[in-house]
Amino acid sequence: MSSDTVKLSRASAGFGISVAITALFNTVLACVKDAYHPLLVIMNSIAGHNWTTQGLADVILFVGLGLILSRSHAVERIRPDRLIAFLVAAVAVAGVGLFFWYTMF
Amino acid sequence: MNVTSSDILLLAHATFGVLGTVSAVWVFVETLNAQERNARRTRTAAWCVTIFMTAAWIVAGYWYLHFYPAERAIILKGPWPFAHSIFMETKEHLFLMTLILAFYLPVVVREKLHANPAARKMTLCVAMMIVITGLAIEGAGAVIDHGVKVALLRSAAMGAAK
């Protein structure tokens, strides 16, 4: 009998979704703070520089969302292939989106 | 010889970035050959990625906040202002994604990769994304460095012509 499994653990699935959402959030926040100056001012005041604030926000979102999702049984029902595709697509869209934003902005 | 703290931090952050990227290649190769006996080594490699990328984040962040503004002013006055406006801006935000991927890697390699094709595929994808974004960031660093160089060369040429 094979002991192989095709499922991701709740931690892997939960934190995997969290990575995807954080990557998209990171790009959206980078765009919004450039387009909306008051947000940039607020972010500068929180941690001394908007980039520092953004980095800390990303880490907090990743850890917080990951912990919440990894406690949920719902993430176990997501097919691993779909989760991996979502993660790769999110990182690709977020990365390319950043480059296009700064090329256009 | 005059090596400043700015020079040391600048070179250290690139070195940590390269070590993190190379460690991600190490994770990728170990995962391709996932067996029970290399599971511990794969986890060690994954933690190397996390530690090196975190070190790169801290060192690069300190350098960016304290030393980069002077270089940015030089770049923006030179012939390659896009080295800052496109490449540095993209690089500094793209790195945050690489960092989050590096934080995730030790989570997924806790699975039994040799017995779990889904976890193996996830690990391969995450490691590959760290390598790709890491190489893009290193490339952007070279463009930024060249942006400073061409600005200083033009400045020096104009000074010599006077």
Q: What tokens were used for B65? A: 């906040």
A12, B111 Cβ separation under 8 angstroms:
yes
Which has the closest alpha carbon to B74: B151, B141, B140? B151
Q: Which tens digits make up the pLDDT trace of A66-80?
A: 999 999 999 989 999
Output the six-digit token pair for A83.
């989760």
- Whether A64 and chain B come into contact, CB under 8 Å, resolves to no
User: In terms of Cα–Cα distance, which of B95, B90, B22, B20 is closest to B61?
Assistant: B95
Q: How many C-alpha atoms does B56 have within 13 Å on its Cβ side?
A: 26
Q: How many CB atoms lie within 10 A of CB A53?
A: 19
Is a pLDDT exceeding 50 seen at residue A1? no
Where are the domains positioned within chain A?
10-104
- Residue B162 maps to a domain: no
- Between CA B78 and CA B2 the distance in angstroms is 25
B62 has a pLDDT exceeding 60: yes
pLDDT in tens, B128-161: 999 999 999 999 999 999 999 999 999 999 888 8
Give me the number of domains chain B comprises.
Answer: 1
Report how far residue B51's alpha carbon sits from residue B9's, in angstroms, rounded to the nearest whole number: 17
Q: Which pLDDT does position B160 carry in this prediction?
A: 86
Residue B5 pLDDT: 95
Range of the domain at B61: 5-157
Residue pair B78/B147 in contact (Cβ under 8 Å)? The answer is yes
Record the pTM: 0.95
Candidates B13, B66, B93: best to mutate against A (most CBs of A within 10 A) is: B93
Q: What pLDDT, in 10s, does the model give residues B66-91?
A: 999 999 999 999 999 999 999 999 99
Q: What is the pLDDT of residue B70?
A: 96
Cβ–Cβ under 8 Å, residues B153 and B74: no
pLDDT score at B1: 83
Confidence check: pLDDT of B23 > 50: yes
- Reported ipTM: the value is 0.95
What's the CATH number where B121 sits?
Answer: 1.20.120
How far is it, in rounded angstroms, from Cα A87 to Cα B113?
A: 19
| A16 inside 8 A of chain B by CB | yes
A8 lies within 8 A of chain B by CB: yes
- At B19, phi and psi to the nearest 5? -65, -40
Instruction: Say which amino acid occupies B138.
Output: E
